[in-house]
């Protein structure tokens, strides 16, 4: 079993930056995929970025390519999402998720564990 805790959200003006953290505890051994998803009230949850701990492969949504960077610190069991050049459309609740048998990194249904979410608000 694994527990995930997100942090780092907040309010920022357009063009600013935030760094989200996802700290994993419990069964963190082996290779697994960690993804960041976001959701706005009334809209479908969408994948933002993901990283596979073993292979190091990454996934980015087209809307965040060149602005967001996902990274992994194995020693701290933490995945980061560095968000630069933030836009108002990035405003959402951001969730961290982990899965052991993820083949489609942008598909939320393939992840097994989810964090509680952290709010990101970008004002214009």
Return the pLDDT at 31. Answer: 86
- Rounded (5°) CA angle 33-36-68: 110
Please write the tens of the pLDDT for every residue from 52-72.
988 889 999 999 999 999 999
Percentage of the chain modeled with pLDDT above 90: 89
DSSP H or E segment with residue 52: strand 46-52
Cβ neighbourhood burial of 103 (10 Å; 0-12, 13-18, 19+) = exposed
Instruction: Identify which of 110, 36, 44 has the alpha carbon closest to the alpha carbon of residue 70.
Output: 36
Computed over every residue of the chain, the mean pLDDT equals 95
Return the pLDDT at 56. Answer: 84
Residue 104 has a CB neighbour count (10 Å cut-off) of 12
How far is the C-alpha of 53 from the C-alpha of 14, rounded, in Å? Answer: 31
How far is the C-alpha of 68 from the C-alpha of 99, rounded, in Å? Answer: 21
Please write the tens of the pLDDT for every residue from 18-42.
999 999 999 888 889 999 999 999 9
Return the pLDDT at 23. Answer: 96
Rg, the chain, Cα only: 13
Please write the tens of the pLDDT for every residue from 93-124.
999 999 999 999 999 999 999 999 999 999 99
């Amino acid at each position: 079993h694994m527990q995930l805790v997100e942090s780092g959200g907040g309010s920022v003006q357009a063009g600013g930056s935030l760094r989200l953290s996802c700290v994993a505890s419990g069964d963190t051994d082996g290779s697994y995929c960690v993804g960041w998803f976001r959701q706005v009230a009334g809209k479908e949850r969408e994948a933002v970025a993901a990283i596979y701990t073993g292979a190091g492969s990454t996934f980015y949504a087209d809307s965040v390519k060149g602005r967001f960077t996902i990274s992994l610190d194995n020693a701290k069991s933490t995945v980061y999402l560095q968000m630069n050049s933030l836009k108002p459309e990035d405003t959402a609740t951001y969730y961290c998720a982990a899965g052991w048998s993820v083949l489609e990194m942008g598909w939320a249904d393939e992840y097994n564990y989810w964090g509680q979410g952290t709010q990101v608000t970008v004002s214009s």
